Every structure is written in C-alpha cells, then in structure tokens.
Amino acid sequence: MKAPILPVDDEARQTAKHLMRTARSGALATNDAGSGFPFASLVAVATDLDGSPLILTSQLSAHTRLLEADNRCSLLLSASGKGDPLAHPRVTLIAEAKRLERGTPEGDRVRQRYLAHQPKATLYVDFPDFSFWRLDVTSASLNGGFGRAYRMERGDVLTALDGLADLVGMEAGAVEHMNEDHADAVALYATRLCGAREGAWRLSGIDPEGLLLALGDEIVRLDFPQPLTSAAELRPLLVRLAQEARSRDPQG
C-alpha cells in the first residue's frame, strides 16, 4: 500500500499557501470546556503578510467567548469545485489565537488588510463588540485530494519576513497606488497572467510571495517568480510583471 502520509515538498507547500491566501471563509473549531465537545463555526478570513489567518469576531459569538477561555483552535480551509468535494484540496491549521488591540499600529494595519480582502465587513468592523484575532499557526494538515495527505510544520505554510520590515509599512500604500494609478496593469495581472475573466480587477494585497487580485467575490493569486528579499525589489518586479502581461497575446 502507498504510505498514507507523503513527504512535504514544494508543491504541497504552494497548495497549502494558495488555500490560505485565497480563502474567504473557513470552519473554526474551538474548545468548549463546559460541554467537553468541540464547537465549529463559520468565520470570514484574511491573511497577514506572513500568511497567518486573521479573523474578526463579535463578543456575542460563542466562538469568541470560547477563544477567550482557551485560545487553542483549528481552522479548516477548502477549495470548492465540481464533483466530489473530497477530491478538492483542503488544509487544517492548528493554531493559538491572539486578540489584537484596536487603535494600535498593528491593529490598524491588520484592519486594512482584512478589509481589503473582506470589503463587506466595512459595515460592522468598527462596532465596539468586534475584535480582530491573529491565528498563530503551529502546524498544519494538508489533503491535496485522494491519496495526497501531508503533515506540515509552521515553516511550511507561513512566509518568512526576515529583512522585510519596510514591506510591512509600505504594503497598504503600494496597494492603494496600484489601484488608483495603475488599474490597467492590475487588470492585466489578473487576465493575462492568471487567466481570469475580463473586469475591473483590483489589487487587494501584497505579500513577499505574490499578489492577491479581486473582482467582487472572485479572488485570484499571482505568485512571484521568486519571493521578495527586500521591499526595494517590489516596484521593479511589478513593472516587469506589467511588461510581461502586456506582451502576452490576449487570446492566450
């Protein structure tokens, strides 16, 4: 028989990271000490620059009160598609949740990233009973489809930010600049480099390994040829990607 757990390789890492970056919702499992049973709930998700999941929860929600009592949790993210749902990739992230303080530089930055990925949350994000949480991933379990199971460590699914402190501070401004001044390039990233349909695509996030592009509820990801090693590499890379997109035949 084929071994049920496969060695982790670059393809598995990329699959897990793609699920994490593009997911808009997932199943959050928390611990209910009172009943002794796990409690699963649907949450909207985004990611921080390193890929750590970000969630926004209300104090009225059961999972918020359970996280306050026990911050250990897991988050299931899955790809959807036609046919048997078990034939599509999914990843379970084992994590410890950390509440983020409002009004701090970190809290404001996370708010921006979350709303860029979940713009409809603007309607309630500032209600006083809502809080952001970062899920600090400790390990992961990837199922890439039938016969493709992997046990993964934190470093397999998160992106190192060594030497990228400047990117953390400039990412929001770079996203705004691209959407306001280079919307044509953003649309070409989506249509010619990602094969997406025509439309008013917007850039919703930049991280060291790629771009997230959104059209309504549709999300596509453009992976960089190589991860960034400094923020100074971002602008020339975006220019090269735009040139590549313009040079490609729109008919494929």
The pLDDT value recorded for residue 2 is 59
pLDDT value at residue 249: 72
Which residues, including other chains, have CB under 8 Å from residue 216's CB and lie 6 or more apart? none
- Return the pLDDT at 3: 61
pLDDT of residue 14: 96
Tell me, what's the pLDDT at 248?
87
Domain boundary among the residues 157, 187, 204 is at 157
225 burial level (CB within 10 Å; 0-12, 13-18, 19+): exposed
Tens digits of per-residue pLDDT, 180-211? 999 999 999 999 999 999 999 999 999 999 99
How far apart CA 108 and CA 46 sit, in angstroms, is 14
pLDDT given for residue 145 in this prediction: 82
The pLDDT value given to residue 172:
94
> Is residue 87 predicted with pLDDT exceeding 90?
no
Q: Last residue of some domain: 130, 157, 184?
A: 157
- Does residue 137 contact residue 156 with C-beta atoms inside 8 Å? no
Q: Exposed, middle or buried: residue 180 (CB in 10 Å: 0-12, 13-18, 19+)?
A: exposed
Examine the domain organization and report whether 184 and 130 are in the same domain: no
Task: Average the pLDDT over 31-44 and give the result.
Answer: 96
Q: Are residues 140 and 241 in the same domain?
A: no
| Domain identity same for 72 and 91 | yes
Task: Determine the Cα–Cα distance for residues 145 and 42; give it in Å rounded to an integer.
Answer: 22
pLDDT band of residue 251 (cuts 50, 70, 90) is low
User: What is the average pLDDT across 129-138?
Assistant: 98
pLDDT-derived band at 82, boundaries 50, 70, 90: confident
Q: Assess whether 104 and 181 both reside in one domain.
A: no
Q: Domain limits at 189?
A: 165-247
Are 149 and 218 found together in one domain? no
Statement to judge: residues 77 and 98 lie in one domain: yes
Q: Taking 70 as the threshold, does the pLDDT of residue 1 lie above it?
A: no
| Average pLDDT score over residue span 6-16 | 96
Chain segment 141-167, per-residue pLDDT in tens: 999 888 889 999 999 999 999 999 999
Q: Residues 27, 125: one domain?
A: yes
252 vs 76, more confident: 76
CB contact set of 106 (below 8 Å; sequence gap of 6+): 100
For position 252, what pLDDT does the model report?
Answer: 56
- Per the structure, how many domains does the chain have? 2
CATH of residue 170: 3.20.180.10
Alpha helices in the chain, H assignment, sequence order: 10-22, 62-69, 105-117, 154-157, 165-181, 183-188, 234-247
pTM attached to this predicted model:
0.94
- Residue 103 belongs to some domain of the structure: yes
Are residues 55 and 134 located together in one domain of the fold?
Answer: yes
The fraction of the chain above a pLDDT of 90, given in percent, is 90
